[in-house]
Amino acid sequence: MDTPTGRQAATHTIGADALRALVADIFRAAGCDQAEAERIGFHLVSANLTGHDSHGVIRTPRYVQYLREGKVVKGQTIKVVAESPTHAVVDGGYGFGQTVGPQAVDLGIAKAKAAGMCIVALRKSGHIGRIGDWGERAAEAGLVSIHFVNVENGELVAPFGGVSRRFSTNPFCVAIPSPDGQPPLLLDFATSLVAEGKVLVASNGGKKLPEGALIKADGELSTDPATLYGPLTQGGPRDPANGEGAIRAFGEHKGSGLAFMCDILAGVLTGGGTSGPVPGGKRGLISNGMFSIYLDPAHFGAQGFVAQARAFADYVKSSRPAATDGDVLVPGEPEARTRATRLQDGIPLQADTWANLVTTARNLGIAEPQG
């Protein structure tokens, strides 16, 4: 595979346990306590295991930089701003998303189990990672969950019909519990044609971007990560502020409309902020907002909900494939298959991703792991 500069990309494969340990060591050396460091390592590697490399350990150098610059705060606990039996508004205090995210989700789970449903509006979270992790967490507790996410001050995506950045990648996620031993039904995607992290992966020699993923300032479509980041140097930093182009929304007006609503729900209704200008003209730190709905099927009178949902999934999969060697997949199935493969064979990382991870570790006095 060729990189944007034409050189041949290579990969480094490492086992999940070793990668978790390395990332945990990095964040412990960067100042986090052991529990938080291990939690960050767990969730970043979880993203890699499911094939969402854009939200995996490629984020480690950026997270460490954010910690040093005060853009994310270690050791935070969510603050409940307002609540009732069926809702809560919580502030993450710019804590690591891997710390305040599960706190907010667990609060929603507890309230939904007691009342049948709950809405949790989380604001001011650091990068909250792969949203599927939070859907899976609720599904493991037997709950249906729906998540709308935005990024305050995080303009990366052009709206349908435009070229100027107005949205972030604004993920949307729905998770449905499955019978014991089976992965949940999980719909988890960015409302942009690709996540920013996938542009980051491509810039490091990883999987190329699909046609038309990016748009230049003059309206020309592009697959070159330099459109978003500006001129690329091997191993150099990737800062969207240096680029003049934008990511495109998926599905033309449909993805753009969903991204718009993610900003309204996760940004405005949470009391956080949208990706656009802040009233008064002041721009704060980049943070995630997440508007989450939790539903307990037991309170809805749906007899055998989990079994019926799985039966419908099996029915959908029974559709005759369009290609002779094709396969019909249901939401969450690609991630489950990738997880099984990577747990067995190891996690492949692009050469630049691995090099940047090793450099970050060495700068913190950590030796490169073997194997």
**What is the tens place of the pLDDT at every residue in 91-143?**
999 999 999 999 999 999 999 999 999 999 999 999 999 999 999 999 999 99
Q: For 11-69+334-363, which CATH class? A: mainly alpha
Q: Is the pLDDT of residue 312 over 50?
A: yes
pTM, 2 dp:
0.92
pLDDT, tens only, 215-253: 999 999 999 999 999 999 887 788 898 999 999 999 999
| Predicted pLDDT of residue 195 | 87
Report CA-CA distances (Å) from 249 to 149, 153, 159, 285: 15, 17, 6, 24
pLDDT at 308: 96
- State which amino acid sits at residue 162: G
Measured distance CA(329)–CA(193) in Å, rounded: 20
Domain segments of the chain as ranges: 11-69+334-363, 85-299
Residue 285 backbone dihedrals phi, psi, to 5 degrees: -75, 155
**CATH class of the domain whose range is 85-299:** alpha beta
What is the CA angle 222-202-130, rounded to 5? 110
Does residue 203 or residue 100 have the better pLDDT?
A: 100
Q: Check if the beta carbon of residue 32 is closer than 8 Å to that of residue 73.
A: no
CA angle (150 as vertex; 149, 151 as ends), nearest 5: 140
Parallel, antiparallel or unpaired: strands 214-215 and 246-248: antiparallel
pLDDT digits 0-9 by tens, 15-26: 999 999 999 999
